[in-house]
Amino acid sequence: MRATLMYGAGDVRVETVPDSVIKHPTDALVRITASCVCGSDLHPYGSMKPEDGPVRMGHEFIGVVEETGSEVTTVERGDLVVAPFAISDNTCPFCREGLHTSCSHPQAGFWDGEPEEGGQAEAVRVPLADGTLVKLPVAPDSALIPSLLTLSDVLGTGHHAAVAGGVNERTSVTVIGDGAVGLLAVLSAKRLGAEQIILMGRHRARTDLGRAFGATDVVSARGDEGIETVRELTGGDGTHVVLEAVGHMPAYDQALGVVRPGGVISRVGVPQYEEAPVGFGSLFRHNIRLAGGPAPVRAYIEELMPDILNGTIEPGKVFDATTDLDGVPAGYRDMADRRSLKTLVKP
């Protein structure tokens, strides 16, 4: 079968690899019908050393179950399913608390823990299929597929940012980042009732989509100027919640600058730093809280899917390009160059 491999920064190739096959009785084999490239894939695309590769890519996909292991009970051959970006058993104490990304099952984890599997491919072996996969009540060619595909990561991640930040109808919100996750954080904040949603981003096509998703204000300035603008929009105080959907240090600094005393910085952009200011002069003085992490998107699928099926939300609008597997390397390039927001892959 064919699959996507990253050999190092800027070097993505689609190659023929051994077919994925069932290895454990809890596995399912899924023939992928829709996949995509993630903003987080751009981090290694920008920095990965050749000696760390090649690695299989892709952690967001929809597909048709082709075969199941003997212990799998919740999905069967022919089912259309979506997979979250984390593998989990959905039964351990952490999963029962809704923290599937900290599932305690030995086979649980992120897709990069499965070096022979990936979502930007023709097929994939899914461990812990009963816990991980969720059936979709549509056909593989449904017009809802792009929106349903966002349940695998970016919609659940935007929603997680808002939930971890405590967004409700009484909170004002700043969203930092106009990538797919930032835009879906806007949509999620709107869905949870926030009345003021300030989107910080500088790419007009993206911020226009942000306005369509519910942003009340767009701030294109960055750094001190951007911070000053957000403060002007909020009576000088900043917003109760900041949803940080980038992961780079300037975004963290920007979050510190626009958060209100007593407020929350909720991070879902994977931090590209380890140390950051948290002392008296940054978080402590005004009881600023820091929240967020990898979204337990599995926990949110049942809640979010009905809004997609009934057309209340259209998160699939974040896809502005579609390609087959051969076009995946160009998809990475276009996203890295910000010519494309998010690329849908139809293998």
Taking CB under 8 A as the binding criterion, the range among 19-27, 56-64, 265-273, 302-310 that sits at the site for a second copy is 265-273
Q: Is residue 141 near a second copy by the rule CB under 8 A?
A: no
Site for a second copy in 158-217 (CB under 8 A): 164
Instruction: Identify the residue among 25, 223, 261, 306 touching a second copy (CB under 8 A).
Output: 261
Shortest gap between Cβ of 120 and a second copy (angstroms)?
22
For residue 224, give both structure tokens. 């001190």
SS3 95: helix
Identify the residue among 19, 286, 303, 324 touching a second copy (CB under 8 A): 286
Q: Are 26 and 71 in contact (CB under 8 A)?
A: yes
Q: Find the shortest distance in angstroms from Cβ 304 to a second copy.
A: 18
Beta strands of 91-182 (E only): which ranges? 109-110, 123-126, 134-135, 173-176
- Residue 246 interacts with a second copy (CB under 8 A): yes or no: no
Tokens 């980042």 correspond to: 177
Stretch that binds a second copy, among 19-27, 30-38, 289-297, 333-341 (CB under 8 A): 289-297
Q: Which CB atom, from 115 or from 262, has the smaller least distance to a second copy?
A: 262
Torsions phi, psi for 311 (to 5 deg) = 80, 10
- Distance, in Å, from the CA atom of 242 to the CA atom of 197, rounded to the nearest integer, reads 10
Number of residues that bind a second copy (CB under 8 A): 34
Asked if 281 interacts with a second copy (CB under 8 A), we say yes
Question: Which window, 56-64, 70-78, 99-107, 310-318, contacts a second copy (CB under 8 A)?
Answer: 99-107
Buried b (16+ CB within 10 A) or exposed e, 100-133: bbbbebebbbebeebeebbbbbbbbbbbbbbbbb
Nearer residue to a second copy within complex by CB, 79 or 153: 153
* Distance (Å, whole) CA 294 – CA 279: 24
Contact map string, positions 295 to 334, toward a second copy, x by CB under 8 A: -x--------------------------------------
Q: Please identify which residue in 102, 107, 142, 168 interacts with a second copy, judged by CB under 8 A.
A: 102
Give per-residue burial for 222-260: e unless 16+ CB within 10 Å, then b. beeebbebbbebbeeebbbbbbbbbbbeebbbbbbbbbb
Among left, alpha and beta (phi > 0; psi -120 to 50; other), residue 193 is left
Pick between residue 94 and residue 332 the one whose CB is nearest to a second copy.
Answer: 94
- Min. distance of Cβ 297 from a second copy in angstroms? 13
C-alpha to C-alpha distance for 98 and 147, rounded to whole angstroms: 22
Selected range binding a second copy among 26-34, 81-89, 92-100, 327-335, rule: CB under 8 A: 92-100
Using CB under 8 A as the criterion, which residues of the chain lie in contact with a second copy when the complex forms? 94, 97, 99, 101-102, 164, 261-262, 267, 270-271, 273-294, 296
